[in-house]
A and B are shown apart, each in its own frame.
Chain A
């Protein structure tokens, strides 16, 4: 679907609260715009973002058309254990994009 950038620490101390910053390319077409011929451009947005940490959901976002194009999202999570932080975006057409970051927790 898109290019995605993620910034989060790959190493942390147990219990440390870490920031996860994400940026993904998507036009986030609101459904309210019209093209140059006056025809409505259909809505097409990323409507869901889910972050899981070793399989457990730790953060979720539901997006509406008022989220700006190329959505930027920053949130926090507790570094509980070594493992995989998986981020998945889903759009109106059901297309998903998944990115994984490995974190080592000591």
Chain B
């Protein structure tokens, strides 16, 4: 075979391969090609032992943070000397359904924010207390405690109106190839979910169980921590915690996981 013919053959092969690899999420809604009846929480991709750990509130280490969150809820903080309970009374009543609709557009700051940012909003504005850092014990505890009050309720974030731009930005983030490995979220979690990656099945990439206790972390962690792990896994530079790119992506993921139950605090590997 002449050099010219073999290089055209190579070019055609690469073109076809490139086209095949670029058709991720070309369904009716890009980034949401998994059929409704096939939509499954990460719960179904972990081992029976890990599921058993999540199912028993006493065996679930996430409840250690929930317990702390419950105490923080009742503790006065900041210059205003107020506790969450002072405004919101009992969390099981006042916070029911809240986590299920986050991330959400917040009129006061004029953008979509996630639950952690909403909690910090209260800290800064109402309690006049300093914001809590991502992955701090206190923020994880409060977020887990608030999200627990939505456990079992279907994830249902609003993507219309003022949230639309953020949603579309999140979708673009989900579909974008990134990192040294040049992989997008969709390529693993839309195109190859349930297939094995080094001995373990790939999940659909839903965030409905977060903050979650990951065995790998040996601690509770936020969805952003998990997303940063994915960035690093494909050798992409992660955004800083609290970046709007992550919040946009969280909103897109919440829409993608719509209907799945909130499982916080989940247990994952």
Footprint of B on A, CB under 8 Å?
2-7, 21, 23-25, 27-28, 68-70, 72
Please tell me if the beta carbons of B218 and A5 are within 8 angstroms of each other in the complex.
no
Please tell me if the beta carbons of B219 and A5 are within 8 angstroms of each other in the complex.
no
Closest to B137 in A: A25
Given A3-B68, A5-B58, A7-B58, A23-B63 contact (CB < 8 Å): yes
In order of increasing CB-CB distance, the 9 nearest A-B pairs are: A69-B218, A25-B64, A70-B61, A7-B58, A3-B64, A3-B67, A21-B58, A3-B68, A5-B58
Mark out the residues of chain B between 57 and 103 whose CB falls within 8 Å of any chain A CB in the assembled complex.
57-59, 61, 63-65, 67-68
Please tell me if the beta carbons of B58 and A70 are within 8 angstroms of each other in the complex.
no
Closest to A28 in B: B218
- Chain A nearest Cβ from B60, distance in angstroms: 8
Q: Which residues of chain B are within 8 angstroms of A21 by Cβ–Cβ distance?
A: 58-59
Q: Which residues of chain B are within 8 angstroms of A28 by Cβ–Cβ distance?
A: 218
- Chain B nearest Cβ from A32, distance in angstroms: 13
Please tell me if the beta carbons of B218 and A68 are within 8 angstroms of each other in the complex.
yes
Given A5-B63, A23-B63, A25-B64, A69-B219 contact (CB < 8 Å): yes
Q: Which residues of chain B are within 8 angstroms of A72 by Cβ–Cβ distance?
A: 59, 61
Please tell me if the beta carbons of B59 and A70 are within 8 angstroms of each other in the complex.
no
Cα(A71)–Cα(B49), bound, Å: 16
Please tell me if the beta carbons of A70 and B218 are within 8 angstroms of each other in the complex.
yes
Cα(A68)–Cα(B219), bound, Å: 11
Q: Which residues of chain B are within 8 angstroms of A70 by Cβ–Cβ distance?
A: 61, 64, 218-219
Q: Mark B35-64, 1 if CB is under 8 A from A, else 0.
A: 000000000000000000000011101011
Q: How many residues of B contact A (CB 8 A)?
A: 11
Q: Which residues of chain A are within 8 angstroms of B61 by Cβ–Cβ distance?
A: 23, 25, 69-70, 72
Closest to B59 in A: A72
| Among B58, B68, B218, contact of A23 (Cβ-Cβ < 8 Å) | B58
Most buried by A among B58, B67, B68, B219: B58
- Chain B nearest Cβ from A98, distance in angstroms: 16
Please tell me if the beta carbons of B219 and A23 are within 8 angstroms of each other in the complex.
no
Most buried by A among B57, B64, B65: B64
Cα(A84)–Cα(B63), bound, Å: 24
17 contacts between A and B (CB under 8 A): A2-B64, A3-B64, A3-B65, A5-B64, A5-B67, A6-B58, A21-B59, A23-B58, A23-B64, A25-B64, A27-B218, A28-B218, A69-B218, A70-B61, A70-B64, A72-B59, A72-B61
Q: Which residues of chain A are within 8 angstroms of B64 by Cβ–Cβ distance?
A: 2-5, 23-25, 70
Cα(A24)–Cα(B57), bound, Å: 13
Cα(A42)–Cα(B57), bound, Å: 31
Most buried by B among A4, A23, A24: A23
Q: Which residues of chain A are within 8 angstroms of B65 by Cβ–Cβ distance?
A: 3
Cα(A6)–Cα(B218), bound, Å: 20
Q: Which residues of chain A are within 8 angstroms of B67 by Cβ–Cβ distance?
A: 3, 5
- Chain A nearest Cβ from B265, distance in angstroms: 12
- List 8 additional A-B contacts (Cβ < 8 Å) besides A68-B218, A69-B218: A3-B64, A5-B63, A5-B67, A23-B64, A27-B218, A70-B61, A70-B219, A72-B59
Cα(A3)–Cα(B68), bound, Å: 7
Q: Which residues of chain A are within 8 angstroms of B58 by Cβ–Cβ distance?
A: 5-7, 21, 23
